[in-house]
Amino acid sequence: MRLHLLLLLALCGSGSTSGALSYGLGGSWRIRSGNRSLELLGTVPGSVHTALFQQGLIQDPYYGFNDLNYRWISLDNWTYSKEFKIPFDISKWQVINLVFEGVDTVSEILLNNVTIGKTDNMFNKYEQCSFSWDWGPSFPTQGIWKDVRIEAYNICHLNDFTFVPMYVRRTQVWNLEIQTFFDVISPIPVGGQVIIAIPELKIQQTNNITLQPGARIVELSVKIKKNTPVETWWPHGHGNQTGYNMKILFKLDKDLTIERSAKVYFRTVELMEEPIKGSHGLSFYFKINGIPIFLKGSNWIPADSFQDRVTSDLLRLLLQSVVDANMNVLRVWGGGIYEQDEFYELCDELGIMVWQDFMFACALYPNEQGFMDSVAAEVAHQVRRLKSHPSIIIWSGNNENEEALMMNWYGIKLVDLPVYIKDYVALYVSNIRAVVFSGDKSRPFVTSSPSNGAKSVAEGWVSQNPHSRFFGDVHFYDYGSDCWNWKIFPKARFVSEYGYQSWPSFSTLETVSSEKDWFYKSKFSIHRQHHEHGNYEMLYQAGLHFKLPQSSDPLRTFKDTIYITQVMQAQCVKTETEFYLRSRSEIVNGKGHTMGAMYWQLNDIWQAPSWSSLEFGGKWKMLHYFARNFFAPLLPVGFEDQDIFYIYGVSDFHTESKVKLTVRIHSWSSLKPLCSTVTNPLVIKAGEAVSLYKEPVYKLLKRCGNCTRQSCVVSFYLSMDRGHQSPTNYHFLSSLKDAVGLLKPHITASISQQHGTFVFALETSAVAPFVWLDVGSIPGRFSDNGFLMTEKKQTVLFYPWKPTSKNELKRSFRVTSLTDIY
């Protein structure tokens, strides 16, 4: 790709000025194909694909098979060009820089037909998954994907500034460490003062500084007095996300003033890897502000193949959905991109912790010096850009590359393995880790995910078994075993990837397909599935416990199949996640103390089957509604072991909870519970999981009207004196395809409106499992969905994301339950 700029006019004059000017070159550019057969206008920031689409030269790239049809775009060379006039007198400025914040990816930059630069790294300032993954299309984009501008300055220029608060435990005070990066072009030193102000903490500090000519880093420190009431930043669900406004003002020689402002948050983070009583391994958990925190959340991928289409509104919608589902963490996965500043700002604001991978994934990388230098520059830039964000709690060198190397994914000969290990250590330890710690000592670093953490370090940075249950974090996938059997899941220290696939809703698929595509074995359905055997595996897993759709209407069968894949996914991930949640406080055969559950994946990059809980555009799948319940701060978890039914209580609260447990048995054939038991007050310690209830299944069934496993279902919830109640959970005593007495319910809904929220008053004629409320393409979410309806009446709220009317909702509303598809 070529970036061709033509400077038409440079205004001349005499004299000079202080300060700095910036002139944006975004907006309209001309784009030309390699053989000049196409020439069009495009927008910067942007990409070739989006420019072609906006000009009507191609369809929506995501429609049908266009990821194949439009491969010619990525295979061609493209030239971006712009003619411009500098609207200021360049003779008054000593330095004029042309700044590209992001170029995708290999390019040559010319100004007035003179080559002035080249790029080969889209993650540096001047995507792996762009080439497809098992959940996304292949759209290797080209373009100027971030801001481009001209900067002019005299005397000196503040190129960047960053900061991080450090808590000194010995003295119990906060030190705010600030780094400022200057380009000093004055031939003599530049003196002056810097004034740092944080008004809410009554801080104003003045320092005298002298800037020597050249590239200079000025390090400043603000020591916050011990008696200053600093409020710390907490993850969502654990406290407030308090931040303080800071201003930095430089008053320099020749009346030069430079001012910057930022939000400062105070928090500490520690990765605890220490011996555990009853186990030969080490723990792996995070302390935030000295408190152990169970990390519950998901993995983030790019929200669109075309980053210029990722708007502020979309980012806020997706991240708000994270906290609305009671999550507190996202892992920014190493096969995507370093997200834009606004992503991290929103995570700070919302209390979403970020596990930040560097952008290396599932591959062996070269060790040539040029590549290593490029990586070092990339990492230094990203650390400097991001380290001020309290949301980022850990840096990780790569995704799955330690596992790939040591599990020999690529068929390396044993005799050659030491060479590959040496190269691995050189890249991720000697290079990336060293650069990280030279720029940021405030948070931990692990070389890979999964990894054995301290154990991998002790083994020379790569472990013989990188997904040990006794150390570090693991990734776990198993599509062949029964996901209702909790014994298949790893009782590991921390699980940072796991999951099951489902299809997105019909209203999402409908926008990129046509009627000929709407059946499960269509060419479209096969093409959209990028995970080998994925469509089969979904139906296999669903068929273990549910009857599969059998309608004579192909479209009805397709819609019902979509529904049953979402039911399967939600129930599988629920079972697995609840196993990890209840494993946090126990050690069994040396395994346990699980302190993190981050399912794969949160969001989608296009409209296709995947592991996501949010569809492309943000619509909630059934799994996301389930996550809202299983990630609740107080939760009862039910399971069986050797025909004994157990209920654990799981708490994320910082203080102990006194609760009562209510257990009810329902017959599938009746809306009246057969029996109900309420326990005496029970105690769940802060942040722990504890066994609250234990009863042989046969006794439970016998005392409740001689139920059988096939004819009854168990529901249960926790309540506290202060009125807090957990979600109502349930436990199936048999596969639902074997359920006896399960009727086809008639479910009606009356809709009313209250201050922008819509109230759905539901009424059912029979017990209804997996009740799914859908309003088609109307953007918004329900307060609950996919639920087990055991009472005649239930009220559910709908929160629209855009203005809508009651009549629009009525026209679009559909309700489905499990027996509707039989």
DSSP string spanning 290-345?
TEEE-EEEEEE--S-SSGGG--HHHHHHHHHHHHHTT--EEEE-TTS-PPPHHHHH
DSSP 596-626: EEEES-S--SSSS-BS-SB-TTSPBPHHHHH
Question: Could you identify the residue written with the tokens 């019902």?
Answer: 560
Name the residue with higher pLDDT: 664 or 105. Answer: 664
CA distance 652 to 786: 24
List, in order, residues 6 or more apart from 811 with CB less than 8 Å away.
none
Selecting among 402, 403, 497, 615, the annotated active-site residue is 497
Q: CA-CA distance, 719 to 676, in Å (whole number)?
A: 14
The pLDDT tens digits of the residues spanning 637-652 come to: 999 999 999 999 999 9
Q: Which of 400, 402, 403, 578 is catalytic?
A: 400
Percent of the chain residues topping a pLDDT of 90: 86
Q: What's the CA gap between 693 and 636, in Å, rounded? A: 10
pLDDT at 497 over 90: yes
* Parallel, antiparallel or unpaired: strands 214-224 and 244-252: unpaired
pLDDT at residue 14 in the model: 36
CA distance 630 to 680: 24
Mean pLDDT in the chain? 93
- Residue 790's alpha-carbon distances to 163, 395, 574, 703, 705, in angstroms, are 54, 46, 19, 20, 17
Cβ 291 vs Cβ 238: under 8 Å:
yes
Kindly give, in sequence order, each residue whose CB lies less than 8 Å from that of residue 628, ignoring residues fewer than 6 positions away. Answer: 324, 325, 326, 727, 784
Q: How many residues does the chain have?
A: 822
Distances (CA, A) of 99 to 39, 136, 159, 386, 783: 25, 32, 11, 19, 46
Phi/psi at 652 (nearest 5 deg)?
Answer: -105, 5
Amino acid letter at 717? Y
Q: What does the block give as tokens for 486? A: 């909790």
> Rounded to whole angstroms, how far apart are CA atoms 514 and 506?
11
Q: Is the pLDDT of residue 765 over 60?
A: yes
Say if residues 266 and 232 touch (Cβ distance below 8 Å): yes
**Taking the C-alpha atoms of 572, 573, 575 and 579 in order, what is their torsion angle to the nearest 10 degrees?**
140
Helix (H), strand (E) at residue 1: none
- 518, 511 in Cβ contact below 8 A? no
Position 16 scores a pLDDT of: 44
Question: Rounded distance, CA 610 to CA 587, Å?
Answer: 33
How far does CA 497 lie from the centroid of its chain? 12
Rounded CA gap, 297 and 327, in Å? 5
- pLDDT at 422 (0 to 100): 96
Provide the pLDDT confidence category of residue 12 given band limits of 50, 70 and 90.
very low
Q: What is the pLDDT of residues 780-811, one digit of tens each?
A: 999 999 999 999 999 999 999 999 999 999 99
**Quick one: average pLDDT of 617-625?**
98
- Are the beta carbons of 106 and 122 closer than 8 angstroms? no
Residue 578 contacts residue 639 (beta carbons within 8 Å): yes
Strand partners, 425: none
The helix/strand/coil state of 777 is: coil
pLDDT band at 620 (very low <50, low <70, confident <90, very high): very high
Percent of the chain clearing pLDDT 70 (strictly above): 96
For this structure, is 274 an active site residue?
Answer: no
Kindly compute the dihedral angle of the four CA atoms of residues 291, 292, 297, 298, in this order, to the nearest 10 degrees: 120
User: How high is the pLDDT of residue 13?
Assistant: 37
Is 400 assigned a catalytic role? yes
Q: 175 pLDDT band (50/70/90 cuts)? A: very high
pTM of the model: 0.95
What is the per-residue DSSP string for 392-429?
A: EEEEES-BSHHHHHHTTTT---GGGHHHHHHHHHIIII
Tell me the residue type at 189: P
3-class secondary-structure state, position 185: coil
Instruction: Output DSSP code: residue 377.
Output: H
Residue with structure tokens 């964000």?
389
Quote the pLDDT of residue 124: 59
Check pLDDT > 90 for residue 146: no
Cis-peptide into 450, omega within 30 deg = yes
- Predicted confidence (pLDDT) at residue 5 exceeds the cutoff of 70: no
Question: What whole-number distance in Å separates Cα of residue 531 and Cα of residue 540?
Answer: 15
**b/e per residue 358-394 (b: at least 16 CB within 10 A):** bbbbbeeeeeeeeebeebeebbbbbbbebbbbbbbbb
Gap between the Cα atoms of 162 and 184, Å rounded: 18
Residue 15 has pLDDT above 50, yes or no: no
Q: Which helix (H) or strand (E) holds 50?
A: helix 48-54
* Residue type present at position 769: P
Q: Which of 634, 631, 705 has its CA nearest to residue 672?
A: 705
User: HEC string of 569-587?
Assistant: HHHHHHHHHHHHHHCCCCE
pLDDT band at 28 (very low <50, low <70, confident <90, very high): very high
- Residue 6 reports pLDDT greater than 90: no
Alpha-carbon gap, residue 482 to 613, rounded angstroms: 20
Task: Name the 3-class secondary structure at 820.
Answer: helix
Check whether 107 has a pLDDT greater than 90: no
